[in-house]
Structure 1
Amino acid sequence: MQPVTPLTDAHLTRRAQAGETGALGLLLARHHASMRAVALSLLGHGPDAEDVVQDAALTALRRIGDVRDPDAVGAWLRALVRNTARMQLRSGREIPGFDAFANLHPHLDDSAERLIEQHSLRDWIWAAIDELPPKLRLVVMLRYFTGITSYEQIAVACEIPVGTVRSRLSQARSKLARLLMAGAAETHDDAAARTRASRKEALATLAGWESGALPREITELWPARSEMVGRLGRHGEHVHPIPVMRRFLEDGVRQHLHRVTAGRDIDIWEMKVTTRHGSLHHCPPTLTWLMLRKDGRVRQLRVVYPRNPAPAAL
């Protein structure tokens, strides 16, 4: 029997660049120890070093195509760690982190969108996100896939302290790194199809409110016991969103769908808002719907009015 020849870094890199997620997973596993050593040399032992390694690994998801010398992919991965650590040392605040997610966005240019489709990175990442606990999943979706990106804005949207946002994002980074490695060689659901379905529901919901008659499938999406929380409702109080939104509509407030982010049981619809002159409601130019689902139906809706965070203390 011929001995099995180990796959070289160059071979794995070329396969990863061709869109094979399993090859990229093997590369990250092979070089994890040396990446961690770089982080420890710059940041010392502690959670910051671990976060930096995970952030660099996630950045590699998007940027593996940048590698020009496949034999030197190990040095490239260590450079990602070094750069991420230095950015953290300079900023002292939010780690830029999750650079890999920054461009996995519904409004990429065509070439980048085709690259993501070809590499199946989108489905791999969303499969991992869907395995997170709901509280961690929500902050990740807001931070990396919507216009609500700062810790302060996320804290307002979720009605939690900023420190809790930082803690949940740190936990999410750690869990996602493990989940991505575990699922690298698996097949995953089509995340784009889920987003398209959610976008269709959003457009039908808005059209139904405009016309005063919701299609049957949209009525089923919003059962009678849907709960509104936040500024337009109270926790535990079942105020159906349809009459609430009708009041705004009748006062000249119009919502226009801007962006959709759809997870397994969390949907985020971002709206642009126009208000008729003289309207009693003073709405901001944008707002966001955060929806928690159960069995496909909306269980809870929070309408978020983003506000500019206060400047960070020096």
Structure 2
Amino acid sequence: MNRNSGEAARVEDAVLTRAAQAGEVTALGLLLERHRAGMRAVALSVLGPGPDVDDVVQDAAVTALRRVGDVRDPAAVGAWLRMIVRNASRSLVRDSVVFQPIDDLHLPSTDAGPERWLEHHTMRNWIWEAVEELSPALRLPLVLRHFSTGVTSYEQIADTCGIPVGTVRSRLSQGRAKLATALAATADAPHGDTAQRIRASRIEARETLAAAESGHFGALLTERWSPEITLLRGNDPVGDRSLLVRGMDGDLEAGVRQRLVHAVAGRSLVVWEMALLNPADNPDHCPPSVAWVMTLDDAGRPHRLRLQHPRPVRAIQSLTPM
């Protein structure tokens, strides 16, 4: 590539990046196609040949969608995309892939002006509106992979959803493709306030834990959760409201406490990620954390609950506080 063609490419990158930052999905798609070969080459250089290469490149595309507003030099977007791939590939090698939660993305500094801050939140609300357009089967793996902090590996997602790891890969691939279509379809639709929904969910989580510690967990479930609430292990029902209450009360009696670490909140799906604090005289009573993965009914009440620990739980009776 000569100097003139290189400069022309940078100018075109800058135009497409600014359009993508303004919310044009087509522009982002063109950017990704222009740089896909370079992104793939970076993944190959770190990971070597294998299916993880395509997974990392696809993950980078979703990350680019969420973070394109952070690009400071639109003409250098190619280097930015390759950096995302390199970081994700290295994390995968370390077996500790972590995708930044959507509600904790780095906000532009206040001196960037209120317009930039507003654009950031508008983009976030738009993404969530598109996520809600996905089918439940595609939505859950995508949300866990990209928006949770602890249930991000294929194995953890497979265990939570009750599907094989290969199916997780397939559904993530389908979900990412359909997300682009959903983004285009919802571009002009009204978008809910994601930040407000997450704040409300965090309050709800803390109120739930407080009710449990005061002995009113069952009453709270009756008041706020679906009367048909079902605990699932994968896709299999394993208990109802009474099991949830027994499990919570049993762990509290053993001295275990939960503290909210992170919340993901959509209209149909909520994830509460909790740290588990074991008593000093029984530090191994529970794993160090648990994610409550809740599907909501039409009234916005938890209807189906899955619990995911960072490592297998010894027995169903040791379910940590629900």
TM-score normalised by L of structure 2: 0.70
2:197 counterpart of 1:197 = no
The residue aligned with 2:48 is none
The residue aligned with 1:211 is 214
Shift of 1:144: 1.3
The residue aligned with 1:142 is 144
Residues 32 and 61 in structure 2, CA contact (< 8 A), matched pair in contact too = no
Residues 36 and 53 in structure 1, CA contact (< 8 A), matched pair in contact too = no
SS in structure 2 of the partner of residue 212 of structure 1 = coil
2:304 counterpart of 1:300 = yes
Query: Unmatched 5+ residue regions in structure 1?
Result: 1-7, 309-314
What is the aligned counterpart of 1:105 among 102, 107, 123?
A: 102
Question: Equivalences for 1:234-273 in 2 at 5 Å?
Answer: 235=237, 237-240=239-242, 241-273=244-276
Residues 292 and 301 in structure 1, CA contact (< 8 A), matched pair in contact too = yes
2:273 counterpart of 1:276 = no
In 2, Cα distance between equivalents of 1:307 and 1:268: 18
2:190 counterpart of 1:187 = yes
Q: Deviations over 1:244-303 (max 9, x none)?
A: 211111121111111111122111111111122445982011111111111322212122
The residue aligned with 1:286 is 289
Q: Deviations over 1:171-216 (max 9, x none)?
A: 1111112222333344311111221221111111100011112597
RMSD: 4.2
Q: Percent identity?
A: 39
Q: 1:57 to 1:156 in 2, by over 3 A?
A: closer
Shift of 1:217: 6.6
Q: 1:41 to 1:217 in 2, by over 3 A?
A: closer
The residue aligned with 1:4 is none
2:123 alignment partner AA: L
Query: Unmatched 5+ residue regions in structure 2?
Result: 1-11, 45-52, 313-322
Residues 17 and 31 in structure 2, CA contact (< 8 A), matched pair in contact too = no
Q: Deviations over 1:143-184 (max 9, x none)?
A: 112211111222222232211111111111111122223333
SS in structure 2 of the partner of residue 260 of structure 1 = strand
2:308 alignment partner AA: V
Q: Deviations over 1:122-163 (max 9, x none)?
A: 111111111111121111111112211111222222232211
SS in structure 1 of the partner of residue 103 of structure 2 = coil
Q: 1:159 to 1:9 in 2, by over 3 A?
A: closer
1:144 alignment partner AA: H
Corresponding pairs, count: 283
1:195 alignment partner AA: I
Q: 1:112 to 1:162 in 2, by over 3 A?
A: farther
In 1, Cα distance between equivalents of 2:280 and 2:56: 49
The residue aligned with 1:129 is 131
* Segment of structure 1 superposing worse, 104-113 or 153-162: 104-113
Q: 1:288 to 1:81 in 2, by over 3 A?
A: closer
In 2, Cα distance between equivalents of 1:118 and 1:125: 12
Q: Deviations over 1:48-88 (max 9, x none)?
A: 879947843751551354253x5x58xx45x6777788999
SS in structure 1 of the partner of residue 102 of structure 2 = coil
Q: 1:141 to 1:117 in 2, by over 3 A?
A: farther
